[in-house]
Amino acid sequence: MSTEPGTTPEFARVIGVVGAASRFGAQMLLHLEKERPDCWLVAIAERPLRWPVERISTYRLAQNRVSGMLTMSDIPDFMQEKAWDMFLEGHELTVADMPDVLQLEAVDSLIHVGSYYDGPNPEQFCADAQLWLRAARIAGVRQFIYLSDVRVYGVNSDTPIPITEQTDKKPVRQHRYLDEAEPSFSDAASDQASAARDGDSTEEMKVVVLRTAMSVSTSHASPATDELLLPSVTANRKRSFPLQFLHQHDLARAIERVIAKRLHGVFNVAGDGVVDSLDVLEWCRSPRLLRDIASNPFRGATGRQLSKRPLIVTSTKFKQSAGFRFRYSSARAVRAYCNSVLLEPS
């Protein structure tokens, strides 16, 4: 799928979504199905999909299982003809099986919903994500897109403010693989050189990390927003600080543009403008929600930590690289969310 200089890359024909049963993963599938009717979708998740999707292959992963990689080349030649039938009939899929799945489906771009998973086990998630990076390389995936959020790149005491495009990634301890991801792919150039010597024209895989603001839609929010938004504003009712948001419709559009442009690198993604925390508190007043927050000290503590160091990022690099315009400002996104989800009927 290489292109001549000055031409537009061909859009990926097969797109995989890891974590497709999560709330945003399901929304991403629906967006791609609607906007890219020529694409085939591959959903990989631990739970059934939330909504029906056409033009899709679905692979159900066994929950919380990680093991070493196994490829078809490890299976004796005389067994390979029946290997997949045996595999699909009685074997629970794990991340270790994914290189062959991705290769079987000829996945061009793989979207890892990442920290948008609903309630992942941090230790399991770390090991799992590193294997996904390796699986994509083994399978010859051309582009790997990882979604990060403020819980990964921002909520720690040594993160500078504001976080700009030039800021080094400083993920919290349980997400240290983000720092390790780039070095693990830095040897791709030498791999490519070796392949060229062997007569193989395999391209280097492009790795994209999208560091997103708290994301919301008119029906739900990301786990990061659930964990940080209300605790941060309710723990500081007399203090004003800025917040940023990203509408999930814009996030889905942004990922589609990343695939279309074949981007590579780390990008901040947030809706235009900032929102005053006191305005958010006013918009989302709800006795039931406040009771829920008060009964969960962990969320409250996390929220207070966020409010001490509000995270403001710039999306300039992404907008210029992708030629992208956000349809929802931060204020419009969070107000729509508050009006549709958080307010109790009077």
- With respect to residue 290, please indicate whether it lies within any of the assigned structural domains: no
- With respect to residue 228, please indicate whether it lies within any of the assigned structural domains: no
Task: Give the model's confidence band at 346: pLDDT under 50 very low, under 70 low, under 90 confident, else very high.
Answer: very low
- Please report, as a single letter, which amino acid is at residue 195: A
69-78, 191-200, 271-280, 314-323: least confident range: 191-200
Q: What is the C-alpha separation between 195 and 198, in angstroms, rounded?
A: 5
The per-residue pLDDT for 332 is 93
Cα-trace Rg, the chain = 21
Tell me the three state secondary structure of residue 320: helix
Instruction: Tell which residue, 218, 264, 266, has the closest CA to residue 245.
Output: 218
Task: Give the model's confidence band at 219: pLDDT under 50 very low, under 70 low, under 90 confident, else very high.
Answer: confident
| Range(s) of the domain holding residue 66 | 14-216+247-272+313-327
- With respect to residue 22, please indicate whether it lies within any of the assigned structural domains: yes
- With respect to residue 136, please indicate whether it lies within any of the assigned structural domains: yes
The per-residue pLDDT for 240 is 82
Tell whether the model's pLDDT for residue 68 goes beyond 50.
no
Tell me the three state secondary structure of residue 203: coil
The 3-state secondary structure of 134-163 reads HHHHHHCCCEEEEEECHHHHCCCCCCCCCE
Strand partners, 240: none
- What is the reported pTM? 0.77
- With respect to residue 222, please indicate whether it lies within any of the assigned structural domains: no
- With respect to residue 156, please indicate whether it lies within any of the assigned structural domains: yes
Spatial neighbors of 215 by CB under 8 A, at least 6 apart, are: 24, 116, 149, 221, 222, 224, 225, 245, 246, 247, 248, 251
Strand partners, 93: 61
Average pLDDT, the chain: 73
pLDDT in tens, 13-28: 999 999 888 889 999 9
The 3-state secondary structure of 67-87 reads CCCCCHHHCCHHHHHHHHHHH
Quick one: average pLDDT of 221-242? Answer: 76
The per-residue pLDDT for 118 is 54
- With respect to residue 6, please indicate whether it lies within any of the assigned structural domains: no
The per-residue pLDDT for 77 is 57
282 and 237 in contact (C-beta within 8 Å)?
Answer: no
Domain containing 122 — which CATH number? 3.40.50.720
Strand partners, 54: none
53-62, 274-283, 293-302: least confident range: 293-302
- With respect to residue 282, please indicate whether it lies within any of the assigned structural domains: no
Instruction: Tell which residue, 36, 39, 98, 33, has the closest CA to residue 72.
Output: 98
- Total structural domains in the chain? 1
Q: Beta strand pairing status for 275-276 and 242-243? A: antiparallel
Q: Beta strand pairing status for 143-148 and 109-112? A: parallel
pLDDT in tens, 131-158: 888 899 999 999 999 888 776 666 555 5
